[in-house]
Amino acid sequence: MKQIIFFIALFILSSFSISLRAQSVALPKESIIGFTSNWKGERFPDGRPKVPDNILERMKDVSLENAWSVVRGAGYNNQFAGEWQTIHPDQVMVGRALTAQYMPKRPDVEDKLKATGQKEGRIGGTNSWPIDMLSTGDVYVADAYGKIADGTLIGDNLGNSIYAKSKNGVVFDGAVRDLEGLAKIEGFNAFVRGFHPSFIAEMMLTGVNLPIRVGLVTVVPGDIVLAKKGGILFVPAHLAETVVQTSEVITLRDEFGHMRLKEGKYTPGQIDTRWSKEIEADFAKWLDANPGKLKMTRAEMDNLLKTRTW
């Protein structure tokens, strides 16, 4: 049954079926579940994976490089997008993706989507509809096909609403306006292609919570957004915990290795290669003496070390 649902969803997206969009602005829950079937945990009512809050918090300390190595090692080679402009370059943003797709305006398509939205009780401009669906911990991610002039999806009014609902920010393959006002929203951040004083014009919303393209990345609803100064990595939900745990183990081993090098106990050649049983035992004793440094169980760490590719 799941395979049938998946292929139905794939056909819908590849053919851009207006008949289905006439039934709902957002992708059906069953289709989202089909696209994210590798996720086995809790889900939102809309079907998106609900990666736990503690994983999101720990993800903030993960480097792009460590996350990239895990994601790519799992066969996901197209999850990084760079060359962003951001309001607060040094402010890390992590959250669950709620996606939206925009296209150049075509009146007959836009009229059908607006009629559908009215039947569903949606209010305001279509660029506010995804915002109404945000939950705490979400990041509003939009494919606005790189449009900057007349491609400003939000200003500071909608920015305040986004932060009030999500306690987070946005990733737009497009633009925003009211930069000064947005910068005053404490905790909010935006990764965009540009800033422009114009209003949104000649573009239309074509769907919410569907797989979208951001740069060279396919973003699926519920992906974890890891946005830092160096760029954005979109982590598939089912890999989020592995990314966090692997990064934490690497960080601890680096801390231990640097300490022992400074002490002169081991040589760089011993630390920079696969550790000997002696060094592994020394590391284990160091962890025993510093239990607060490990944020997972020892069994989880031991399992990661057994299966590691780094």
Nearest to 32 by CA among 16, 55, 13: 13
Q: CB neighbours of 184 closer than 8 A, spacing ≥ 6? A: 156
178 is in an annotated binding site: yes
The span from the CA of 226 to the CA of 168, in Å, is 12
155 is in an annotated binding site: yes
177 is in an annotated binding site: yes
The span from the CA of 296 to the CA of 98, in Å, is 28
Nearest to 172 by CA among 201, 123, 212, 228: 212
One-letter amino acid at 110 equals E
One-letter amino acid at 219 equals V
82 is in an annotated binding site: no
Answer yes or no: are the C-beta atoms of 215 and 250 closer than 8 Å: no
Q: CB neighbours of 147 closer than 8 A, spacing ≥ 6? A: 102, 174, 175, 203
Neighbours of 248 (CB within 10 A): 21
Strands (E), the chain: 80-81, 85-86, 93-104, 138-143, 170-173, 175-176, 190-192, 194-195, 203-208, 212-214, 217-219, 224-228, 231-235
157 is in an annotated binding site: yes
- Burial class of 114 by CB neighbour count within 10 A (0 to 12, 13 to 18, 19+): middle
Q: What is the DSSP letter of 168?
A: S
| Binding-site residue positions | 155-158, 177-178
| Binding-site residue positions for substrate | 155-158, 177
| Binding-site residue positions for Mg(2+) | 178
